[in-house]
């Protein structure tokens, strides 16, 4: 009897979808503002505790601060009478009335246009150099580092031959002196620090020894000591007719002190450059100075941008210490005017300090933000 052929097992049923499925949204805690808030403020127990503590502190402090600075503040007054009323807040009228003195101190009133012109020209040149999209940076650097100091010195000090009367530096003070000291320190400390860093890494024993001695000596003494030495001892090393001006002495001290710290920042960047960069530069026939200018220093300075800007910020804040040697900077001007009997009041000095803190914060925060911007811009080609 013939046997029926075995039947093959039936193939499994297969369903092929011919339309796409609906896209599901991501979890609510993985997107948007809620996810960012959770990740940054409540990512773990410690972060949550600190967030709650910070919120509690703000709730405790912020209402009184807002009331003092804005709601109860005295915005307009001819003298300090309204500021002496019990319960009065910040005396912003004092800032408004004394702003001219804070800006120029005792600089001759009829000649203050010279200060304004110098500051405006300097600001335009700084924008030219720091704005990445503007052309001809070489010309801008030449004007800022060579022409502008000569122009500013003639304009601020005066030159009777061209109709500019002398303005004694003992009358200088306020914001423009603070900006002057900071600018001189920043402009001269970076190139001097680069030279000192190269000298410390030099194979010439005398150059290396002198660089090491200078860097370690300056970094081993307080900034106030350097200011006192520049103010009292510098005139002893030059003839009387070449004695530096009373304002020039602390400017030299600030530049030298900052250069020593800048040298160590730059040296750290030089040591971070791989040896192959040096060997490659020498292989294509570059001499030492061209190798440093074209290959090594651009990379080294890029690596240490945070440290360089940190030194600049510290230098800007340290300008307040020049008051110890008799230079009337912005903070000294605020303190001096707060003792004016016409404006004497319990909140006047506090308001002056708050205003000074805001002034320094704006400049330091601006330098910090620009540093972060340049770091991101220069590191764009290295990101993967």
Task: List the CATH number of the domain containing 291.
Answer: 1.10.3720.10
- Residue listed under structure tokens 């309204």: 82
* 136, 263: one domain: yes
Q: How many CA atoms lie within 13 A of 139 on its CB side?
A: 4
Note the pLDDT of residue 382: 60
Q: Per the domain annotation, does 78 fall within a domain?
A: no
Q: Are 349 and 284 in contact (CB under 8 A)?
A: no
Q: Per the domain annotation, does 243 fall within a domain?
A: yes
Residue 17 pLDDT exceeds 80: no
Note the pLDDT of residue 38: 79
Q: How many domains does the chain have?
A: 2
Note the pLDDT of residue 102: 94
Rounded Cα gap, residues 266 and 268, in angstroms: 5
Mean pLDDT value across residues 189-197: 93
Note the pLDDT of residue 311: 93
Q: Per the domain annotation, does 369 fall within a domain?
A: yes
Instruction: Tell me the pLDDT of the chain averaged across its residues.
Output: 87
* 63, 145: one domain: no
Note the pLDDT of residue 50: 92
* 165, 53: one domain: no
- What is the band of 6 on the pLDDT scale with cuts at 50, 70, 90? low
Q: Per the domain annotation, does 38 fall within a domain?
A: yes
pTM for the complete prediction? 0.84
* 55, 166: one domain: no
Boundaries of domain holding 56: 28-71
Residue 9 pLDDT exceeds 70: no
Note the pLDDT of residue 15: 65
As a dihedral over the C-alpha atoms of residue 295, residue 297, residue 298, residue 301, rounded to 10 degrees, the angle is 150
Note the pLDDT of residue 116: 94
Q: When comparing pLDDT for 9 and 218, which is higher?
A: 218
Q: Per the domain annotation, does 199 fall within a domain?
A: yes
Rounded Cα gap, residues 322 and 182, in angstroms: 11
Q: Per the domain annotation, does 157 fall within a domain?
A: yes
Residue 7 pLDDT exceeds 80: no
* 224, 318: one domain: yes
* 158, 34: one domain: no
- What is the band of 10 on the pLDDT scale with cuts at 50, 70, 90? low
- Each residue of 62-113: pLDDT tens digit? 999 999 999 889 998 888 888 888 788 899 999 999 999 999 999 999 999 9
Indicate left, alpha or beta for 74 from its phi (over 0: left) and psi (-120 to 50: alpha): beta
The contacts of residue 106 (CB under 8 Å, 6+ apart) are 171, 172, 173, 328
Q: Per the domain annotation, does 86 fall within a domain?
A: no
* 229, 307: one domain: yes
What stretch of H or E contains 189?
A: helix 175-200
Q: Per the domain annotation, does 262 fall within a domain?
A: yes
Residue 164, beta-bridge partner list: 159
- Each residue of 251-264: pLDDT tens digit? 989 999 999 999 99
Note the pLDDT of residue 2: 52
Read off the DSSP letter of residue 345: -
- Each residue of 133-181: pLDDT tens digit? 889 988 998 999 889 989 999 999 999 988 899 998 888 999 999 999 9
- Each residue of 294-314: pLDDT tens digit? 999 999 998 898 899 999 999
* 242, 338: one domain: yes
Mean pLDDT value across residues 199-219: 93
* 179, 67: one domain: no
* 60, 145: one domain: no
Residue ending a domain, among 71, 105, 135, is 71
* 213, 304: one domain: yes
* 264, 191: one domain: yes
Give the residue among 278, 298, 302 at the shortest CA–CA distance from 288: 278
């Amino acid at each position: 009897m013939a046997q029926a052929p075995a039947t093959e097992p039936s193939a499994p049923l297969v369903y092929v979808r011919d339309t796409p499925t609906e896209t599901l949204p991501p979890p609510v805690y993985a997107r948007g503002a809620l996810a960012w808030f959770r990740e940054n403020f409540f990512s773990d127990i410690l972060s949550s505790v600190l967030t709650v503590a910070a919120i509690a502190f703000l709730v405790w402090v912020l209402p009184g601060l807002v009331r003092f600075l804005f709601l109860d503040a005295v915005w307009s007054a001819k003298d300090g009478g309204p500021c002496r009323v019990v319960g009065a807040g910040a005396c912003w009228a004092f800032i408004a009335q004394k702003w001219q003195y804070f800006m120029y101190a005792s600089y001759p009133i009829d000649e203050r246009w010279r200060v304004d012109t110098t500051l405006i020209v300097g600001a335009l040149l700084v924008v030219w150099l720091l704005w990445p999209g503007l052309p001809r940076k070489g010309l801008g650097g030449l004007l800022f580092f060579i022409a502008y100091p000569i122009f500013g010195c003639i304009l601020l000090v005066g030159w009777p031959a061209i109709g500019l009367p002398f303005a004694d530096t003992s009358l200088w003070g306020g914001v423009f002196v603070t900006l002057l000291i900071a600018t001189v320190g920043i402009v001269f400390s970076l190139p001097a620090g680069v030279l000192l860093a190269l000298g410390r890494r030099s194979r010439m024993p005398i150059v290396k020894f002198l660089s090491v001695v200078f860097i370690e000596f300056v970094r081993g003494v307080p900034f106030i000591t350097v200011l006192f030495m520049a103010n009292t001892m510098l005139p002893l090393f030059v003839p009387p007719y070449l004695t530096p001006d009373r304002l020039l002495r602390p400017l030299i001290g600030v530049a030298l002190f900052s250069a020593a710290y800048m040298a160590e920042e730059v040296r750290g960047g030089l040591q971070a450059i791989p040896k192959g960069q040096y060997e490659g530069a020498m292989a294509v026939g570059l001499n030492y100075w061209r190798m440093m200018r074209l290959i090594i220093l651009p990379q080294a300075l890029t690596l240490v941008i945070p440290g360089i800007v940190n030194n600049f910020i510290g230098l800007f804040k340290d300008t307040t210490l020049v008051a110890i040697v008799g230079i009337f900077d912005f903070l000294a001007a605020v303190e001096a005017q707060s003792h004016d009997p016409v404006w004497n009041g319990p909140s006047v000095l506090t308001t002056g300090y708050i205003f000074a803190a805001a002034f320094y914060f704006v400049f330091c925060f601006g330098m910090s933000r620009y540093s972060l911007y340049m770091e991101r811009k220069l590191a764009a080609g290295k990101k993967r």
